Amino acid sequence: MELWGRMLWALLSGPGRRGSTRGWAFSSWQPQPPLAGLSSAIELVSHWTGVFEKRGIPEARESSEYIVAHVLGAKTFQSLRPALWTQPLTSQQLQCIRELSSRRLQRMPVQYILGEWDFQGLSLRMVPPVFIPRPETEELVEWVLEEVAQRSHAVGSPGSPLILEVGCGSGAISLSLLSQLPQERLRGSSWMREDRAAPSPLWFTDSNAYHIYLARLWPRRKGCWSRVIAVDKREAAISLTHENAQRLRLQDRIWIIHLDMTSERSWTHLPWGPMDLIVSNPPYVFHQDMEQLAPEIRSYEDPAALDGGEEGMDIITHILALAPRLLKDSGSIFLEVDPRHPELVSSWLQSRPDLYLNLVAVRRDFCGRPRFLHIRRSGP
Amino acid sequence: MNRHLCVWLFRHPSLNGYLQCHIQLHSHQFRQIHLDTRLQVFRQNRNCILHLLSKNWSRRYCHQDTKMLWKHKALQKYMENLSKEYQTLEQCLQHIPVNEENRRSLNRRHAELAPLAAIYQEIQETEQAIEELESMCKSLNKQDEKQLQELALEERQTIDQKINMLYNELFQSLVPKEKYDKNDVILEVTAGRTTGGDICQQFTREIFDMYQNYSCYKHWQFELLNYTPADYGGLHHAAARISGDGVYKHLKYEGGIHRVQRIPEVGLSSRMQRIHTGTMSVIVLPQPDEVDVKLDPKDLRIDTFRAKGAGGQHVNKTDSAVRLVHIPTVECQQERSQIKNKEIAFRVLRARLYQQIIEKDKRQQQSARKLQVGTRAQSERIRTYNFTQDRVSDHRIAYEVRDIKEFLCGGKGLDQLIQRLLQSADEEAIAELLDEHLKSAK
């Protein structure tokens, strides 16, 4: 392929120009097949950075570092063993790097190229077009954990609240909450009956099936109760969340439901009890901003996970409107939003006193932009 | 001509317990070997063979000469690889453009490898000189010129010495440095328990005195922290702080259970004239320097490399590095999760500002205790002092010393034992290093 030829040419006639030969690359090696064993990790990173930069790929250096590190079995280039930086790579490794880099040249996001990414220390699978979790959202999870800790401290007993996540995507928020929340064995649950014989499928493709299932029962299990219900309208997201839950051995504590919460029908019967918390990173991009998103986002991520309508508020208002039916009294909603939304949400809530919701707190992200909302239900 | 036998017992990890026995018979014209040391080698070898028959023994090899170690292929290959790595690093640093952080890490690695590469180079040159000298010697023998022969032999001797020195240097630099080696220690002794009699307490006092004398011998400061005597002149437990040069390095292998077997002459137990067994335990805790630096979060600024625009869903960037701006500045890009990087950066900053936080100190001391004091059962002994047979044997290196009275004076006898312990620990460390290298090379 042309790219390969170019790479070879660049290697052979590049920085070694000053000397007569690239003697050092060949000295004391045993005779190797011509391409394999030529390049070490550092050279490859340098080479591909140059290639990416020439083609205007953003984050050229970071991308090539992540790709090379991934092929060498590490998560980041910095965490590679120093000895590996200068060791020659095998031809399979070179081939692998070439393939992954060619995808980067198509502007595929690095997370999709590697097929995985980290969130709050968990390693999650990433598959297009399911939305890639952003670093800001890690702070949302931190906030929720703080609130839970504070609340259980006030109540005096370690609590494991019932949490609903709307729009789970890859399952990042739900799974990182579950992995850091204490496990609690529920005694005498008021909203579930016991049935040891019933099987327990973990996710449903259709909300009707879900209702039918619930007519049978969730068996009581020893140890962990599922305390997170994750909901998404895309089947791809549901299966990815399921896969990640299994990878992290959290599949017993999470209910993953294929459900479009914007459709009225889904919420008419509430088979489960009121929630303590609703968490969401809903699509909040203003519709007119969608065109200006980077090609990585526009071409590979699901636009439905990003587009929030004219003012980016569509899904947000939906969630808030459902709160009275879903939330316990003094339950909380935690949202990640656009920096312009805190005001908009505040005024919208004032126009809807029937919801009995108050904007309690706005938190800034690590760039200082107002990013997270805490809304509390208080009333009948 | 003196010969000495060196048995290399080498368990290769990939061969699943299969033993490779490598015997080299080496005759060397210019080396004097004591009869005693030879006997020791035999004794060690016997023990080594016995130990190897049990599967769980990791590699243990016995040698009297670093030269033998050098001849081992694994070490040679390892040194070759290191020197190759060094050369390629040098070339990379000069010719390939790297960004700042990578450059720093590369420089660090380069600095690590520099002394090793230098020694390796010297060894190769010296070996070449030896070869030349040998060939010259051979040609000389034919001509039978006495004077030249003598000169050549002298030259050979000096080169030999030089190369042995180089081997030792290499050996020393290869051994990974222990973190606390230079530190001062707190030495604690506690008498064990027996059914009746105070043999343990008497023994504890003798051992404590031995260590006090040893500190004198090594010109260290011995500061008494705690002394709880028992009746009839014994000692329940005592603690002392010993400070000086490389105290922990020398005393770290003293921690453990010491066992005594004797017919007591003094104290309660001396009433019945039969052999008593007792134990006492020694704990050696490294004392890090305490530097108190306060970390005020208000003085920190956390920098992350995120977009200038709206951020959030609008942007997908993989740069998750976090920088904490403080003196000193800490950067972290070890993980892909930004919040993890922040945590790590905080941790690194604290570690740099505090040498040891007080709680960490205490916790480490606690855990060191757990390691060193087991159940105080007799099965965990590291050393046995047998007064009736007048010998001290250390069970970890199967080493025996005669003249127990002299040993308890804490002078040369104890020092020699400690040197042997250090040497064998170094050997094991290098063996481990080579083992890892072999494993990773697969």
What pLDDT score does A116 carry?
95
C-beta atoms surrounding A297 within 10 Å? 23
What pLDDT score does B436 carry?
74
Distance (Å) from the C-alpha of residue B95 to the closest C-alpha of chain A? 6
Q: Is the pLDDT of residue A213 over 60?
A: no
B88, B98, B316: residue with CB nearest A297: B316
Q: Which positions in chain B have a beta carbon within 8 angstroms of at least one beta carbon in chain A?
A: 84-85, 87-89, 91-92, 95-99, 101-102, 105-106, 108-109, 302, 304, 306-307, 310-320, 333-340, 440
More confident: B308 or A99: A99
Q: Is the pLDDT of residue A123 over 60?
A: yes
Rg (CA), chain B: 28
pLDDT digits (tens, 9 = 90+) for A253-280: 888 988 888 886 656 555 567 888 999 9
B31's tokens: 């080396």
Of A123, A126, A132, A122, nearest to A114 by C-alpha is A126
What pLDDT score does B350 carry?
57
What pLDDT score does B64 carry?
41
Q: Which residues on chain B are in Cβ contact (under 8 Å) with A294?
A: 315-316
Distance (Å) from the C-alpha of residue A135 to the closest C-alpha of chain B? 6
Q: How far is the C-alpha of A176 from the C-alpha of A141, rounded, in Å?
A: 7
C-alpha A230: how far from chain center: 13
Q: Which of A118, A141, A292, A306 to mutate to test the interface with B (most CBs of B within 10 A)?
A: A118
What pLDDT score does B88 carry?
86
- What lies within 8 Å, CB to CB, of A284 at 6+ separation is A308, A312, A313, A315, A316, A336, A337, A338, A341, B312, B313
Burial class (CB in 10 A: 0-12, 13-18, 19+), B188: buried
Burial class (CB in 10 A: 0-12, 13-18, 19+), B163: buried
B88, B109, B311: residue with CB nearest A367: B311
C-beta atoms surrounding A337 within 10 Å? 24
What pLDDT score does A155 carry?
67
Q: How far is the C-alpha of A28 from the C-alpha of A31, rounded, in Å?
A: 9
C-beta atoms surrounding B207 within 10 Å? 24
DSSP line for B26-56: EEETT----HHHHHHHHHHHHHHHHHHHSTT
Is A262 within 8 Å of A318 (Cβ atoms)?
A: yes
pLDDT digits (tens, 9 = 90+) for A31-83: 333 344 458 888 899 899 999 999 999 999 999 999 999 999 998 887 787 77
Predicted-complex ipTM score = 0.71
B102, B333, B340: residue with CB nearest A121: B340
B250's tokens: 């020398």
3-state secondary structure of B320: coil
Task: Look at the alpha carbons of B27, B31, B36, B41 in this order and tell me if their dihedral is positive or negative.
Answer: negative
B97, B312, B337: residue with CB nearest A136: B312
Question: Could you give the percent of chain B with pLDDT greater than 90?
Answer: 10
Task: Please tell me which residue of chain B has the smallest CA distance to A306.
Answer: B313
Distance (Å) from the C-alpha of residue A341 to the closest C-alpha of chain B? 12
What pLDDT score does B31 carry?
36
Q: Is the pLDDT of residue A111 over 90?
A: yes
**Total beta-carbon pairs less than 8 A apart between chain A and chain B:** 137
A110, A117, A142: residue with CB nearest B339: A142
Compute the average pLDDT of residues B196-218: 89
Q: Is the pLDDT of residue A247 over 90?
A: yes
Q: Which residues on chain A are in Cβ contact (under 8 Å) with B313?
A: 131, 134, 281, 283-285, 305-306, 338
**Highest mean pLDDT of the ranges A203-217, A298-312, B263-277, B333-347:** A298-312
Q: Is the pLDDT of residue A368 over 90?
A: no
A347's tokens: 């005024």
pLDDT digits (tens, 9 = 90+) for A273-325: 788 899 999 999 999 999 999 999 999 999 999 999 999 999 999 999 988 88
Angle at B192 between CA B188 and CA B193, to 5 degrees: 155
Q: How far is the C-alpha of B256 from the C-alpha of B252, rounded, in Å?
A: 10
Mean pLDDT for chain B?
71
Question: Could you give the percent of chain A with pLDDT greater than 90?
Answer: 55
Q: Which residues on chain B are in Cβ contact (under 8 Å) with A296?
A: 316
What pLDDT score does A104 carry?
96
Q: Which residues on chain A are in Cβ contact (under 8 Å) with B333?
A: 76, 78
pLDDT digits (tens, 9 = 90+) for A144-194: 999 988 887 776 655 678 899 999 999 999 999 999 887 654 444 433 333
Q: Which residue has the tokens 């855990």?
A: B367
Q: How far is the C-alpha of A77 from the C-alpha of A66, rounded, in Å?
A: 6
More confident: A373 or B331: A373
Q: Which of B99, B336, B340, B440 to mutate to test the interface with A (most CBs of A within 10 A)?
A: B336
What pLDDT score does A30 carry?
35
At residue A233 the predicted structure's pLDDT band, cuts being 50, 70 and 90, is very high
Compute the average pLDDT of residues A211-229: 48
Q: Is the pLDDT of residue B4 over 60?
A: no
What pLDDT score does A307 carry?
94
Is A371 in contact with B92 (Cβ distance < 8 A)? no
Mean pLDDT for chain A?
79
Distance (Å) from the C-alpha of residue B31 to the closest C-alpha of chain A? 36
